[in-house]
Amino acid sequence: MSSDILETMIIASLAGGSILRKYFEEENFSISQKSVSYDLVTSADRESQEKIISILSGRFPQIPIVGEEGSEQIPHYREAFYVDPLDGTLNFVHKFPFFAVSLGYWKDNEPIAGVVYNPISKDLFYARKGNGAFLNGEKIGVSTTTSVEGSLLVIGFPYEEGELSRTVKDIKSTMRLTDLRVLGSTALELSYVARGIIDGYWEYALSPWDLAGGVLIAREAGAVVSAPDGGKFDLFKGDVLAATPGIYQELVKAING
């Protein structure tokens, strides 16, 4: 059953991704603002979501779907697909080719299948619980880094101003150790931890669709995924830290020290 689900999610992400690629190349999408000036939605997000939902619901009509576009309140279903039809819209709008379709299937508070697809680089990341993580058919794993000093750390900036203070505090406590980056797509940042490129990534106040796919991919590749304070990861709280085990403890200490 879960391999069937994963297969359908891959088909849906490729279909959503080809819509994004077309708009990215032709530059003929319309843009509107959501909360702040850099929180955007485009016609590409909407069309990609429609296509993904039609594929998922066509094959699994009984499984609820929580898609980013049009979701004001987030329902807590026992099982659901979480759809981010374009994770990294600001990058997309500025022609920075670091964005992805992100799909996750969760049941009983556990991630069961995840897919993250960058339609420009054609990197297709996917994972099924207990089965490892893959990039374009090849098994992937986290980095072997053992020290935070000089490691590749990525942090994300929250859209809500009230959430900024924690991030600023974290930057202050970690920036002496290495040169931090912000790349603008949670799904790809988690997948790059899985791939062993990024050693550690954390961010606060994300939404379930940002995280549902990438969290499983990172875990299945061997990353430790928790809240940034070292507590249990909660999809609905949206605070995440994913790191290679060699630096995880040291990074939690550095962030919270």
Q: Which residues bind ligand IPD (CB under 6 A)?
A: 84, 87-89, 156-157, 159, 184-186, 203, 206, 210
Q: Which residue is nearest to ligand IPD (CB)?
A: 186
- The torsion of the CA quartet 162, 166, 171, 174, rounded to 10 degrees, works out to -170
Q: Are 80 and 106 in contact (CB under 8 A)?
A: yes
143 binds, among ligand IPD, Ca ion, none (CB under 5 to 8 A by kind): none
Nearer to Ca ion, 29 or 248 (CB): 29
Q: Which does 88 bind (CB under 5 to 8 A by kind): Ca ion, ligand IPD, none?
A: ligand IPD
When the beta carbons of 199 and 210 are compared against Ca ion, the nearer one is: 210
Closest distance of CB 158 from ligand IPD, Å: 6
Cα first-last separation, the chain:
44
CB 90 within 8 A of CB 183: no
Count CA within 13 A, CB hemisphere, residue 33.
5
CA 100 to chain centre: 8
Quote the least distance from Cβ 43 to ligand IPD, whole Å: 15
CB of 205 to ligand IPD, least distance (A): 7
Binding site for Ca ion (CB under 5 A): 68, 84, 86-87, 210
Least distance in angstroms from the C-beta of 84 to ligand IPD = 5
Min separation Cβ 231 and Ca ion, Å? 23
Closest CA to 247 of 156, 187, 178, 185: 178
Count of all residues that appear for the chain in the document: 257
Q: Which residue, 77 or 157, has its beta carbon nearer to ligand IPD?
A: 157
Complex with ligand IPD: residue 133 or 206, whichever CB lies closer: 206
Q: For residue 136, what is the DSSP state?
A: T
- State the minimum distance, in angstroms, from the CB of residue 159 to Ca ion: 10
Give the C-alpha separation, 52 to 48, whole Å: 6
Which of 205, 224 has the CB closer to ligand IPD?
205
| DSSP count for the chain of H helices, then E strands | 8, 13
Residue with Cβ nearer ligand IPD (92 or 248)? 92
Q: Which of 108, 131, 105 is nearest to 52 (CA)?
A: 105
Q: DSSP of 171-194, one letter per residue? A: HHHHTTTS--B--S-HHHHHHHHH
